[in-house]
Amino acid sequence: MLSDRSRPVIEATLPVVADHIGEIAERFYAHLFGAHPELFDGVFNRGNQAEGTQQVALAGSVAVFAGALVQTPEQVPERLLSRIAHKHASLGITPAQYDVVHEHLFWAIADVLGDAVTPEVAAAWDEVYWLMAYALINQERGLYSARGVRPETVWREWEVAERFDETPDVVTFRVRRVDDRLVKTSLPGQYVTVQVLMPDGVHQPRQYSLTRADDGEHRQFSVKRVRGGDKPDGEVSNHLCDRVGVGDRLRMSLPFGDVVLDDSGRPVVFASAGIGITPMAGMLSHLAAAGSHLPVTLLHADLDEESFALREQVLTDVRRLPGGTVHTWYERGAHSTLPVDSVHAGVMDLDAVDLPEGAVYVLCGPLPFMRAVRSALLDRGVPARDVQYEVFGPDLWQADSQTEPSPQAAHAGSA
């Protein structure tokens, strides 16, 4: 809980900090990596750094956290903290690394804002940072403990047993264990961090959803090739798609992720766009493997049917579920050769389908897509607590500010 002394200081200075988030983040990371270049090996993704998304993500999450404390002093933004804690655990983050981040982040704030950072302002933001840090450290300690690991032992090597093309831009990897450690079953919807050894000898991390239920020996994930256009191509995704084949070894974390399948026994509606199908595929695989009788509806939007990754697996699993239905939307026209229940042209329109009463909803896709779908669901009277959403990559800090805006969080999210 934020102290009464610090709350008015944070409220007064939050707009200034939010307006300078980009510059603070840039100075912070330059200073951090100057002192700790080893963090580029396995912890920070340098592609996100080059693009600038990861830079804003960390500083932005602190600003969003501060805004939430000002708006609701008696509680913390649990959803944001849970997302970050699971991602940190999948990277093996340690408590000591929070001290390192604190040192360089507060140097950057003072460097950018100058004389505006009075001792009173510095003390208030220091309180915010450590409230957030200790909340995350405690959550991450619990995640490690529940899995019987330490930060340094979340990793193990796997061997690629199969790889196959889903679409021209998506490749699925099926890996098998190569040691005697048991494969702890993942929860439906979770992801792993893959640490890829790049040609220059540096490990680069990237999270990928598990797209099939574990069988005790294997895990499966799918990779979309990131084509940068006017930005650099995705380093990890292109390396995996172009250079990693059957027999190669990959270093992967234990499964983490807080957006998992609801076990309340209520109908489930999955709504995805593009590569957002991956966590849905994992959940559907778990349901099919368990012989579930839950009423399940899959809504998926894509460019066209050929771009619909994992479509054969997904359709097979849905058809194994009694009463399971699939509805698709394609930007390039309502053409389908798959046995779907309906196909539509354009973007997803919930008014085009009948949705079950009392359902829980899971969304995954670009943030604008999730915001539009969530807004449409709330307009229909679906309670906000019944809508979950998975966020990929460094966008996770923005998810609440863009799908559940509050005045302070929205201000920080627009910085």
Say what the pLDDT of residue 41 is. 81
Tokens representing 113 are 């804002």
Instruction: Please give the Cα distance from 185 to 214 (Å, whole number).
Output: 6
pTM: 0.90
Say what the pLDDT of residue 392 is. 72
Instruction: Please give the Cα distance from 308 to 275 (Å, whole number).
Output: 8
Instruction: Please give the Cα distance from 134 to 322 (Å, whole number).
Output: 45
Say what the pLDDT of residue 111 is. 95
Say what the pLDDT of residue 147 is. 93
**What tens-digit pLDDT sequence spans the chain (415 residues)?**
789 999 999 999 999 998 998 899 889 989 998 999 888 787 887 766 655 555 567 778 888 899 999 988 777 788 889 999 999 999 999 999 999 999 999 999 999 999 999 999 999 999 999 999 999 999 999 999 999 999 999 999 999 999 999 999 999 999 999 998 888 889 999 999 999 988 888 899 999 999 999 998 999 999 999 987 777 788 999 999 999 999 999 999 999 999 998 778 899 999 999 999 999 999 999 999 999 999 999 999 999 999 999 999 999 999 999 989 999 999 999 999 999 999 999 999 999 999 999 999 999 999 999 999 999 999 999 999 999 998 875 444 444 544 444 333 333 333 3
Two domains, one topology: 5-147 and 268-396: no
- What's the one-letter identity of residue 221? F
Nearest CA among 412, 400, 409, 366 for reference residue 25: 412
SS3 per residue for the chain: CCCCCCHHHHHHHHHHHHHCHHHHHHHHHHHHHHHCHHHHCCCCCHHHHHHCHHHHHHHHHHHHHHHHHHHCCCCCCHHHHHHHHHHHHHHCCCCHHHHHHHHHHHHHHHHHHHHHCCHHHHHHHHHHHHHHHHHHHHHHHHHHHHCCCCHHHCEEEEEEEEEEEEECCEEEEEEEECCCCCCCCCCCCCEEEEEEECCCCCEEEEEEEECCCCCCCEEEEEEECCCCCCCCCCHHHHHHHHHCCCCCEEEEECCECCCCCCCCCCCEEEEEEHHHHHHHHHHHHHHHHCCCCCCEEEEEEECCHHHCCCHHHHHHHHHCCCCCEEEEEECCCCCCCCCCCEEEECCCCHHHCCCCCCCEEEEECCHHHHHHHHHHHHHCCCCHHHEEEECCHHHHHHHHHHHCCCHHHHHHHCC
The structural domains of the chain, with segments of one domain joined by +, span 5-147, 155-256, 268-396
Q: Indicate the fold that domain 5-147 takes in CATH.
A: Globin-like (1.10.490)
Residues belonging to the active site: 98, 140
pLDDT digits (tens, 9 = 90+) for 237-259: 999 999 999 999 999 999 999 99
Say what the pLDDT of residue 205 is. 93
pLDDT digits (tens, 9 = 90+) for 25-66: 889 989 998 999 888 787 887 766 655 555 567 778 888 899
Say what the pLDDT of residue 408 is. 37
| CATH class entry, domain 268-396 | alpha beta
* Partner residues linked to 325 by β-bridges: 297
Decide if 118 contacts 221 (C-beta within 8 A): no
Say what the pLDDT of residue 402 is. 44
CATH architecture of 155-256: Beta Barrel (2.40)
Instruction: Please give the Cα distance from 397 to 287 (Å, whole number).
Output: 30
Instruction: Please give the Cα distance from 392 to 276 (Å, whole number).
Output: 9
Q: What is the mean pLDDT of the chain?
A: 89
